[in-house]
Chains A and B, each alone.
Chain A
Amino acid sequence: MEHSDLKTLVDADHGMISREIFTSPAIYKRELESLFTRTWLFVGHESLIPNPGDFYLSRMGEESVILCRDRTGEVHVFLNSCTHRGMKVCRYDKGNAKVFTCPYHAWSFALDGSLQGVPHFDDLYDGVLDRDDWSLLEVDRMAVYKGTIWASWDKDAPNFETYLGDAKLHLDMTLDCRDGRSGGSEVIGVHRWKFPANWKFAAENFLGDSYHNHSHGSVDAIGIGPSARSGVKGRRDDEMKAAQHIWISFPEGHGVHSAMEHPDAEFIDSYLDQPEIGAYFRHCYEERRRRLGDEAQLIPFTGTIFPNTSYHGRQPRGLCAWHPHSSGETEGWRFFLVDTDAPTAVKDFLRHYYMRYSGPAGMTEQDDMENWLYASAASKGTIAKRLKLNYQQSMGAAKLNDPLPGLVATQMSEHMARGYYTRWRDYLEGRDWDQLLGVDDPRFSDGEPVTKAGRA
């Protein structure tokens, strides 16, 4: 695949993208080799491995990785494959271990990945095998950020916060306590399920595709939100009804849909189904205002951290990893978040809401899965593949750094997707990190070009 081919696949300037990027096995293979080996990937949360020896199986791209905490409390991420003959050294989803012993020939690895036990070492390997050379493969880069754990296979990757860029502010608002204290969240459960769609449909959905609201007409009509038992329709409380919605594309490929409240805004009645829950969130809102001042005007809604980590900022609140299985299959992992020190009644209320909204049995997200499946399936045909997909919404409407850093639209927009796929192409072309971070991307100095184009 030549660079010129990739250029025609993603034509961001004209807002057109080839369907092949969602269907082609060759492009998928290129993604595994050029993209999933370099980007920062979300692998889990500290609350899943609170104690020394705790481990949790996760994934990076198609591959199984072990997330664990060693005896000194240090967090590690290892490729889950024995360095002797390749067997998975861990096939338990979670637990506590002293060592990982391979079931095949019983090589065993300590929690820091070092090769410890080699059966018959003295008889069979003495003088030849240097244990230090045969540790479990550890990721080249690892970062723990406000409880979340991220990793990259690229030793030259920029540090995690540089990679986040100005999307950090929005991710922060998702990870921070509801009352504005930094960090402090825990995972109360993880949905893991496999669906027949290309992974990028899911990632793109959370970049801020607010245009797909239509899909959720059924839950909006009947009401399933935190005030639904009190007769309020919709799938969530409309916490942003008095706020300015903003859609932001970032140079690194991330995209978010957030909202800015008026400086004098007041708490919007929500969580009406249980007065004490409503009172708790009112308290959190007022505390957050007091603590953060003007910064509290920002409310997170959804976002995707390039390439495959998405979040819902408030209702419901959680992080998703969209793990690729093939060009047409994805494993969705949804990590549900609450404040660690929230009252038990609040956590209980939230978990019920999260379950009826999210995941394969979630009344909202079932309809998303249907979209992603048939968008993938109906793009495979010989004739269908000749057609480009349309990404022309709100071209040129975004302004630079107003009111927050990034390319910001105040109307629904697909410029986040245009930016995302531009970076996606850079990875597949094997660009250097300056380009992957969008350092010289003219969209972030001159704004987005407006180039009218018909259906090509």
Chain B
Amino acid sequence: MSAVSDFSDLIGRNLAAQPGYAALQSQLEAFYFLEADLLDNRRYRAWLDLLADDLTYYMPMRANVPLAHDRSDEFTTVGEGIHWFENDKWTVVKRVEQIETGIHYAEEPLSRITHMISNVRIVDAKPDLETAQQIAVTNRFLLYQNRIVDDTTTFVGRRHDRLRHNAGTGWQVHFREVIIEQGILQAKNITNFL
């Protein structure tokens, strides 16, 4: 799993000047804006179609560690131990089913939410940008959530995504790492999808 999850070698890459980058980035932005629209409008079943069946979707926990330490000290490592969550597709479907019961009180009544996605950057494309079938993307998110009266939470962070293109399904996310800029989580719950 580490080869999939490790974006450290990709972060510094700049592919923007290469042929095909602008067109692919535009496609990717459209994908993320669609995803945000589906989630914010509670079309969870349609959103699930954007996720591959072999999905790994996790949110590491973070710790305050000295500068010189490895990433594995600061972040929990996918595939090992405990994170805020580590979902496969089945678990994500369960989370949607839970909301649909109408008695998941942490989301009933539903929260009002808006996802903002920005800084979309393609950091890897295979076989190449013009004929890409596999890509690695970094982006930023802001999720504003308000529920009941004044119960308001803003989640801000980064996503490291890997997407795959299939003729039938179009682009689908098969790996997502959600990095939030908090150690001790300053929110009572994570009931919405980041």
**Binary interface profile of A, 26-57, with partner B (CB < 8 Å = 1, else 0)?**
00000000000000000000000000000000
- Give the chain B neighbours of A359 by CB distance below 8 A: 84
Min CB–CB distance A58 → chain B (angstroms)? 12
Residue total for B at the interface (Cβ-Cβ under 8 A)? 39
Report the stretch among A104-112, A193-201, A295-303, A430-438 that lies at the interface: A193-201
Cβ 8 A contact of B81, one of A188, A193, A366: A188
Question: With A92-B65, A192-B183, A371-B105 given, is the CB distance from A360 to B83 under 8 Å?
Answer: no
For chain A, the bracket of interface size reads 35 or more
Min C-beta distance of A159 to chain B, whole Å: 32
Q: How far is the CA of A91 from the CA of B183 in the complex (A)?
A: 12
Is chain B's interface secondary structure helix, strand, loop, or mixed overall?
A: loop
Say yes or no: B103 contacts A360, CB within 8 Å: no
Other-chain contact of A373, B107, B188, B191 (Cβ < 8 Å): B188
Most buried by A among B83, B87, B90, B189: B189
Cβ-based interface call for B82 (8 A): yes
Chain B residues near A369: list those with CB within 8 A: 106, 188-189
A318 closest partner in B (C-beta): B82
Name the residue of chain B whose CB is nearest to the CB of A222. B97
Instruction: Report if A290 contacts B (CB, 8 A).
Output: no
Using known A-B contacts A188-B81, A191-B84, A361-B84, determine if residue A367 contacts B105 with beta carbons closer than 8 Å: yes
Contacts of A188 in B (CB 8 A): 81-82
Q: Could you say which of A192, A221, A229 contacts B103, with CB atoms under 8 Å apart? A: A221
Report which residue of A95, A228, A374 has the largest number of chain B beta carbons within 10 angstroms of its beta carbon.
A95
Contacts of A352 in B (CB 8 A): 86, 91
User: Does B72 sit at the interface, judged by CB under 8 A?
Assistant: no
Q: Does A355 contact B (CB under 8 A)?
A: yes
B183 CB to closest chain A CB (Å) equals: 7
* Residues of chain A within 8 A of B81, CB atoms compared: 188-189, 351
Q: Which residues of chain B have C-beta atoms less than 8 A from A192's C-beta?
A: 61, 183-185
- Tell me, yes or no, whether A162 is within 8 Å of chain B by CB: no
Q: Mark B87-130, 1 if CB is under 8 A from A, else 0.
A: 10011001101100101111100000000000000000000000
Interface residues of A in 53-97 (CB under 8 A from B): 91-95
Contact of B59 among A189, A193, A356, A361 (CB under 8 A): A361
A367 engages B106 (CB within 8 Å): yes
**Which of A143-151, A212-220, A442-450 lies on the face that meets chain B?**
A212-220
Q: Is the CB of A336 closer than 8 A to any CB of chain B?
A: yes
Query: Which partner residue on chain B sits nearest A333 by CB separation?
Result: B184
- B61 and A191 contacting across the interface, CB-CB below 8 Å: yes
Contact partners of A222 in chain B: CB under 8 A: 94, 97-98, 101
Contact B185 A217 (CB under 8 A): no
On whether the beta carbons of B94 and A93 are closer than 8 Å, the reply is no
Q: Enumerate A329-385 residues with CB–CB distance to B below 8 Å.
A: 331, 336, 351-352, 354-356, 359-361, 363, 366-367, 369-371, 373-374
Please give the distance in Å from B80's CB to the nearest CB on chain A. 8
B133 at the interface (CB under 8 A from A): no
Interface bits B5-25 vs A (CB < 8 Å: 1, else 0) = 000000000000000000000
**Is there a chain B Cβ closer than 8 Å to A173's Cβ?**
no
| Contact flag A370-B106 (CB < 8 Å), given A351-B82, A352-B86, A360-B185 | yes
| A residues near B186, Cβ cutoff 8 Å | 193-194
Residues of B within 8 A of A371 (CB): 105
Q: Which residue of B lies closest to A224 (CB)?
A: B94
Tell me the bound Cα distance from A356 to B93 in angstroms: 12
Alpha-carbon gap, A366 to B188, bound state (A): 8
User: Does A190 count as interface, using CB distance less than 8 angstroms?
Assistant: yes
Query: Are B97 and A366 touching (Cβ within 8 A)?
Result: no
Hey, which chain A residues are within 8 Å of B95, CB to CB? Answer: 363
Contacts of A356 in B (CB 8 A): 85, 87, 91, 94
B184→A355 contact, CB < 8 A: no
- Contact partner of A193 (CB less than 8 A), chosen from B73, B76, B187, is B187
Per-position binary interface string of chain A over residues 207-244, scored 1 when its CB falls under 8 Å from any chain B CB and 0 otherwise: 00000000101110111100011000000000000000
Contacts A/B (CB < 8 Å), 13 sampled: A92-B66, A93-B63, A93-B65, A95-B73, A191-B61, A193-B188, A196-B188, A219-B98, A222-B97, A228-B94, A361-B84, A361-B191, A366-B107
